[in-house]
Chain A
């Protein structure tokens, strides 16, 4: 950002160098705030935490209401009393969420590093707040801002839409007219705000060259500086004529999981949002630990799934060890010269596998709890012996 601003002071487009890949609104923001950069990042983190706190508070109320409704409608099996969430245990969850975000070492690291990921996180947090409060307009605006910042929150459109439909009590049937009407409304709000923001950014610098620099950069991954993601190593060792194909494959991988997850999790859009955010931060082209911190902040919301999690010990060990090994192997590779990129990439892979394991474990636990709620805790097969739920 400093480089971009310096180039601008020299009268050159900040996107003419290969370093600056942020959007024009960031230029505008930091033009005035660059001297107080530390304060800005601290304030954004606090804002994110506050937004998450308010969002989860509202979400808990909604969950509790829905649970009460389902109990009264007798949708639950008789022996699942211990699985029902009570307000007592849910009382401190918003505070825990805010604390998880603020005290997460990843958040602290990205604040100290003054990474613009903090701004991304706060926009996404406000988007979640707006969605859970039910305001389609604000949620579309914030989603447009988040997408404008980095392309991937586009996939959060689906869970937000599902949540808003649920809130409006519109059934999600493909033939239902009200469903399509609402979807169109929301989509048009989102697209209009996106277009307005992009046009506004055009007026900042009077040129469109921010589009290839920001979005072309995210999509075509030209810069292969090692990070905690999966892209750099593949593309560093790939032949030139395959790189387009593999860029497409890798990018599709991020967007691909939205539709199956939407079909499976259409009753539980906030969980869907959590899984989607995790998928974005694992498979995105330039992930940072700030993205990881954002979805990890949501883990207390599903602390009631603890009894169904199977791999929690292994994956927490994997994540902690990998976090410690990252700087060690970086030092060994770059400074000591006695390791090479394979070592660092191995840790990257392990870290991402740990994250994927975390997400899939929570997914399994969530679905299992849902199944138990409707079918009872003691599952029996047809011949009377005890059965086990397996995620196929």
Chain B
């Protein structure tokens, strides 16, 4: 039991969150919404509740006037799998999906009036899954056809999350063209990233449905969905299997991944660590005494070198000085030579035009 109790703390996380973002609008980007909804479905099936999922969909496909089958979003052709279902809860919809809102959700700098369902209330024991899909390019992802988020901004947002202790481990999956460029700039610890294509490659869509008239899913997410359908809350499949999903023969693009910032070996990371909300519950009638220093639990965060005392805002700003400010004395004056030259020229022009006879009036 001691071993198992130690195992209890080994993975380090106690709760799971998911932020699923679809950034494209318009009917022909049906597949991006279907991508996000399939990941949503898997994540919910594996145990993450709606209260811990922030779902951002930039457009409404299910109730789109062009949808021949209203209230459905299919992921397989021949309408095999409806990922919309009855209990989808979209937190950010339509025009609310903006770069600013996304970054605010991640960093937690949200106006006080935001409802709980729109907040990412993670803490330093949370494993967060971030899934993004849409149209992208080398170093950016397009939101709503009007703005972009760059890989630098994303990396800085993750660093803010790290500094604010908002995650324990983070899995970032992106399914766009040139998706690998989005994770190139990450520099915060404990991030693992997967992308559907390398820089210079396009991510392709899977199959069109002739009844609906659009492509239903992107290849990478289609095969990820197939993979995830096999997973159940107790499965021990690890990340290395996820890296093998969708080889080049099936996906045409080369999926990539990045694990150098991650502290654990991907072999030991279970899929359900990120995609599911697995609670380890062991019922026992014996008492266990836990050792003070448990192996595997090291302090992950560096100690502050010097403790600073909390600063009060009012003391930092010299209010009295500002209020009673005198108008500033100008420090710069034009050089004497310039003034002399300028006025000499003006006087010369004046006399040239109007004649020397005025000189005696001046002097």
Contacts and interface: CB of A to CB of B under 8 A. Distances in A.
Given A137-B353, A196-B345, A9 B330 contact: yes
Interface stretch (A72-80, A153-161, A198-206): A198-206
B337 A203 contact: yes
A191 to B, nearest CB: 15
A200 B348 CA distance: 15
B301 to A, nearest CB: 40
Contacts of A31: 330, 332-334
Contacts of A25: 342
B359 to A, nearest CB: 17
Contact of A9 (B331, B335, B342, B352): B331
Given A137-B352, A203-B335, A9 B345 contact: no
Given A196-B345, A200-B345, A28 B353 contact: no
Q: Is chain A's binding surface mostly helix, strand, loop or mixed?
A: helix
Contacts of B360: none
A11 B341 contact: no
A8 B335 CA distance: 13
A360 B337 CA distance: 48
Contact of B353 (A9, A138, A206, A340): A138
Nearest to B332: A8
Interface in B322-363: 328, 330-335, 337-339, 341-342, 345, 349, 352-353
B331 A11 contact: yes
Given A135-B353, A137-B353, A9 B332 contact: yes
B97 to A, nearest CB: 14
Interface in A337-383: 340
Which residue among B328, B339, B342 has the maximum number of chain A CB atoms within 10 Å of its CB? B342
B295 to A, nearest CB: 55
Nearest to B341: A200
A368 B195 CA distance: 70
A141 interface: yes
Nearest to B336: A203
A200 B335 contact: no
Nearest to B333: A31
Contacts of A11: 331-332
B334 A200 contact: no
Interface in A195-228: 196, 200, 203-204, 206
Contacts of B338: 28, 200, 203-204
B182 to A, nearest CB: 24
B330 A204 contact: no
A5 B331 CA distance: 10
A5 B335 CA distance: 15
A11 B337 CA distance: 19
B231 to A, nearest CB: 42
Interface string B96-118: 00000000000000000000000
A206 B336 CA distance: 12
Contacts of A137: 349, 352-353
Contacts of A141: 349
Contacts of B353: 135, 137-138
A207 B146 CA distance: 43
B355 to A, nearest CB: 12
Interface string A9-35: 111000000000000010110010000
Contacts of A340: 146
Contacts of A28: 334, 338-339, 342
Contacts of B330: 5, 9, 31
Nearest to A31: B334
Contacts of B328: 9
A74 to B, nearest CB: 39
Given A9-B328, A28-B342, A204 B334 contact: yes
A200 B339 CA distance: 9
A135 B353 CA distance: 8
B328 to A, nearest CB: 7
A206 B338 CA distance: 10
B31 to A, nearest CB: 26
B331 A206 contact: no
Interface in B235-292: none
Contacts of B332: 5, 8-9, 11, 31
B335 A206 contact: yes
Contacts of A8: 331-332
Given A135-B353, A138-B349, A204 B331 contact: no
A31 B334 CA distance: 8
A5 B328 CA distance: 12
A311 B341 CA distance: 51
Which residue among B330, B333, B338, B341 has the maximum number of chain A CB atoms within 10 Å of its CB? B338
Nearest to B327: A35
Which residue among A196, A204, A206 has the maximum number of chain B CB atoms within 10 Å of its CB? A204
A27 B345 CA distance: 18
Contacts of A9: 328, 330-332
Nearest to B146: A340
B341 A203 contact: yes
A57 B330 CA distance: 44
Nearest to A201: B338
A389 to B, nearest CB: 43
A330 B310 CA distance: 45
Nearest to A340: B146
Nearest to B344: A200
Contacts of B337: 203
Interface string A162-194: 000000000000000000000000000000000
The 6 A-B pairs with the shortest beta carbon distances in the complex, nearest first, are: A8-B332, A9-B331, A203-B338, A204-B338, A200-B341, A9-B332
6 contacts: A9-B331, A28-B339, A28-B342, A137-B349, A200-B338, A204-B335
Interface of B: 146, 328, 330-335, 337-339, 341-342, 345, 349, 352-353
Given A11-B331, A28-B338, A200-B338, 7 more contacts: A8-B332, A9-B328, A137-B353, A141-B349, A200-B341, A203-B338, A204-B338
Interface of A: 5, 8-11, 25, 27-28, 31, 135, 137-138, 141, 196, 200, 203-204, 206, 340
